[in-house]
Amino acid sequence: MKRILIAPNSFKECSYSVDAAIVIKESIERLNREADPVLFPVSDGGDGFLKVIKFHYQTDTVYFRLNSFFDNSSFDCPAEYSAEMRTVDIESAKVIGLNLIPPSKRNPLNYNSAPLGDILRQINSSGLKVEKAVIGIGGTGVNDLGIGILSRFGLKLLDRKGKELNPVPAEFLNAAEIKLPEKDLSFKIEIVLDVKNPLLGPAGAAAIFAPQKGADSNAVEIMERGFINILNLLKVAPELRESLSGAGGGIAASFQLFFGSNAVTSNEFILNRLKLNKTGEFDIAITGEGRLDEQSMMNKGGKVIYDYCLGRNIPVVFICGQNKLNRSMKLLDIIQLKDYFSSIEESIINFSAGIEKACGEIDNKYLK
């Protein structure tokens, strides 16, 4: 009997990791009654973060009323609470996620992260016994350096005439003065980084991730120059700038600069918080996410599983919607779901059927 670690990350805008793991497990069990699949859905701090927390820790879901960051409509935003650990887990993608914005309205120049500041303030006054808020930084639809968050704590951007500016990236270059925020939270903040990338430069938040959020090349340049202007006004030293994270559209950097937040990599989170080390021995691992590319190699959840298995000489099958990784890697077998269908869109609609076909390949190659 072969023991199989089933540890997918979320398939963006298609399936959360918990749901994908269940589909994979059920498919394997139908195909091979001798298999021993072990469910271990993962998150790197992006989409599906809360479902993973609830799966592993059976936390209580609590809700906070927030205003949307792109159309100001109100909605009930979930978080996961553990009274025992005195911890609240927050998923940025549920608060300011790209998935919340209709594709036609995606424009990160005009949006900010203010609702994330709102939820922190509400937790602070909620009466819940909280010593730490853990925020999964990933899947955001904003690229604002966390200025929106800080605006909820009193930060103001002023132009050369002292006029207050809207705290969105489109105005960052017009800022000539910054009124600093007042931080009055009664709990510590820990951030889980879904990628390992710098704040600025060709691998930074604007250059790499803003185009995915609807920014054209001109908007990317405006945001990059705006970030530099804000950092200059804050007098952030060059050596400190190099250490700031670009995760979540730069919101990780604001937590580092103003809240003294502890930054946890996806590797640390999966190994230590989710306790990957406690899964025991297994013969093969199945992981995956929507698209496999070079960004997946920036410490995304699937890469964490691959690295863990590589060190133990365990073969890994990576199921993805589409493979854009133009290189081979030791002990890594890649299956792309789009090969079973006429288009990527069809593979998304027929996700469960695609997983069944992929598991058939895995069964024939590894489990017979």
Q: At 183, which CATH number?
A: 3.90.1510.10
120 and 150 Cβ atoms separated by less than 8 Å: no
Please report, rounded to a whole number, the percentage of residues in the chain having pLDDT higher than 90. 91
Same domain, 71 and 145: yes
Residue with tokens 């820790």: 57
Give mean pLDDT, residues 53-68. Answer: 97
Domain CATH for 363:
3.40.50.10350
Q: What pLDDT score does 296 carry?
A: 86
Instruction: Calculate the CA 24 to chain-centre distance.
Output: 22
Domain enclosing residue 158, as ranges: 49-267
Residue 59 sits in the same domain as residue 165: yes
Q: Are residues 210 and 342 in the same domain?
A: no
Of 239, 267, 295, the domain-final residue: 267
Residues recorded for the chain: 368
Residue 165: per-residue pLDDT: 98
Q: Kindly state whether residues 200 and 326 are assigned to the same domain.
A: no
Report pLDDT for 341. Answer: 96
Which pLDDT score, from 0 to 100, does residue 118 have? 97
| In a shared domain, residues 65 and 136 | yes
**67 and 155 assigned to the same domain:** yes
Q: Do 334 and 238 share a structural domain? A: no
DSSP type of residue 144: S
Residue 164 has pLDDT above 90, yes or no: yes
pLDDT tier, 170 (very low <50, low <70, confident <90, very high otherwise): very high
pLDDT at 99 over 80: yes
Q: Which domain-ending residue is among 212, 239, 267? A: 267
Domain boundary among 201, 233, 267: 267
Confidence class for position 228, pLDDT limits 50, 70, 90: very high
Domain count, the chain: 2
- Report the C-alpha gap between 68 and 107 in whole angstroms: 14
Give me the sign of the Cα torsion angle 229, 233, 238, 241: negative
108 and 219 co-located in one domain = yes
d(CA 115, CA 118): 5
Q: Are residues 242 and 189 in the same domain?
A: yes
Rounded Cα gap, residues 109 and 106, in angstroms: 9
pLDDT 10s digits, 341-359: 999 999 999 999 999 999 9
4: three-class secondary structure by DSSP: strand
What's at 334, amino acid-wise? I
Residue 230: both structure tokens together: 């804000």
| pLDDT at site 256 | 94
- CA-CA distances (angstroms) from residue 75 to 95, 137, 311? 10, 20, 44
Supply the pLDDT for residue 162. 97
238, 175: one domain: yes
What pTM does this model have? Answer: 0.93
Q: Is there a contact between 101 and 215 (Cβ–Cβ < 8 Å)?
A: no
**Buried/exposed code over 211-240 (b: 16+ C-beta within 10 A; e: otherwise):** eebbbeeebbebbbebbbbbbeeeebeeee
- In this structure, the answer to whether residues 303 and 260 fall within a common structural domain is no
One domain, residues 18 and 68 = no
